[in-house]
Every structure is written in structure tokens, then in C-alpha cells.
Structure 1
Amino acid sequence: VGHFLPDYTAYAEALGLFQSIVPVPIPQSSKLGMEKQMPANYLDELVSRMDLGAILMSNPCNPTGAVLRGRDLAAYVEIARRWSCAMVMDEFYSHYLYLDEVKDDAKPHMVSAAEFVQDVNCDPVLLVNGLTKGWRLPGWRLCWVV
């Protein structure tokens, strides 16, 4: 299971609890800066070369705040589909998306890979979210996986 560095620090520890899972840390390039996620073409090459069965990541990224959205997020979902690589997206912070452009409507902005899933029965994308962050219920350990 590949996981990006930096990302939520508990991923490496949690993945290490299972003997059958081999955590594969994937360092982000310092050239990107902290506000960017790994380019899709580089991820595509890594998944192929390393024969990754799964990738675990947060979007928006905790702790950097980097966000995948639009074409970039669609490309990540397509990579998962093409290589049958389970993409586990931790979307706990998906409601905390602050855009530079201001819209007239006061609707909150959010991001989710669900927008690019074509077939929920076939696409290897798991979305994890919960009440703790987006619904401001700290201490509630209630979450869902779609």
C-alpha cells in the first residue's frame, strides 16, 4: 500500500499493524512545494513500476493543505481504474476548501473523488469520511466508507 509523505502521520503506523500489508512510503518532490500533490503522470509510472495494489491518501492533504481537484483528481481516479489499484481517499477535510476566487453564492466548497467514479460497483475507489471534522463533532468516531 503506497502512501505519500508528507501526509497524515498515522497512516504509516496503521499500515504497519498488519503483517500482510507492506507500507510503501512515496515521498513528494520538494520541487512541487507543499501546496501541490504529485502529478498524475508520475503517480501512473509509480503504480505501474512498483505494482502497487493500493494507495492511501488524504484529500485535501493533512498536514499540507494540498488539494487534488478537477482534471488532476479525475486523472488519479483513472489511474486507479486502469491499474486496478485501490485508491483509498481520506476525505475528512473535504469541506475545508478555500478558493481564491469568490463566488456570489455563499455555498461551501468541497472536493470529492466521487465526482469521477463512473461505476460504484467496479471502480477501485474507496472514499472515507466522517463526522469529526466536516460536521464539527470532535470525539465522535463515526465514519463511513463509500
Structure 2
Amino acid sequence: MMKLSHKTTFGLQMGTVVRMKVDPRDKKNATAVLGIVSNFSESGATVIQVATEYGMISKGKSGKTHYVSADRYSIQQIQELALDGGLLIVRHRILRRRYDETKCNYVTITQAHDFKEAGYETDYEPVTMKQAHALRDAWRRLICFGD
């Protein structure tokens, strides 16, 4: 298992709770959802882990979606994701490139100073403390099987 990094590509802490809007063409997950920032990519790409009824979804910088089984991660690892910065609530940016070099939609997040340089469009969604707690609790239930 790859060692978890506490920083993502764009400097957001691992465990930061974000609200993201996924591509509506993704039929299984077409609405805005809460996610926790993690970094499992060997290339250092920012990855957002989302706990849903379909399991955990990893949306990487490549735009590909991977469905991840909860039992791949130990309770300790998930607690690190949920608690190390998990209550650091940020206004995030959902980004799409204005040009598409790879014929796929990119979904990622970045800090404000990266925005103009990256040439992205963005949406803003605030995340409340109540939403952050709800996500953390849901994540624990998913991993701890009801505990």
C-alpha cells in the first residue's frame, strides 16, 4: 500500500472536505457530493475520494473514475483521511480545462493563486461544518461496517 501523502499537488491538505460537482454524464453520480481530498497517485495528481452508495470513487487528474472497495483501506488510514485536516473547510474550485488535449474532462481542485495560470473555469460551493461532520460520520460507517 502506498504511503499516504499529507499534501496534494495543489497544496491542499489530505483530509480536506470539499464539495464537488461531477460530470452529469456520469449517471451513477450526477449530483453535487461531498468528498475528502487524498493523494494516492504515484504521479502526485490530486485525487478526491467520495463515499457513496457505490463505494468510494476516486476521481483523478486524468479524468478517469475508479470504484474502490472500502476493505482496501484500514480503519486507521481512513481515519487519517477523515480527521487530518478533515474539518479544515475550504471554498474549492471545480475546474475544467478550456482546451482538451486528451479528449477527456478533467475534474480537479486548485488553490486561488493557481486558477488563472491554469486556464480553468470554476464553480464555487461552500461546505458547512454540519456537512463536514456528516461526511466524516458516513465515512466511518462505511469503513467500520456500522460501528
> TM-score with structure 2 length normalisation?
0.23
Q: Return the structure number with greater relative CO, CA threshold 8 A, min gap 6.
A: 2
> TM-score with structure 1 length normalisation?
0.23
Larger CA Rg, structure 1 vs 2: 1
Question: Which structure has greater strand proportion?
Answer: 2
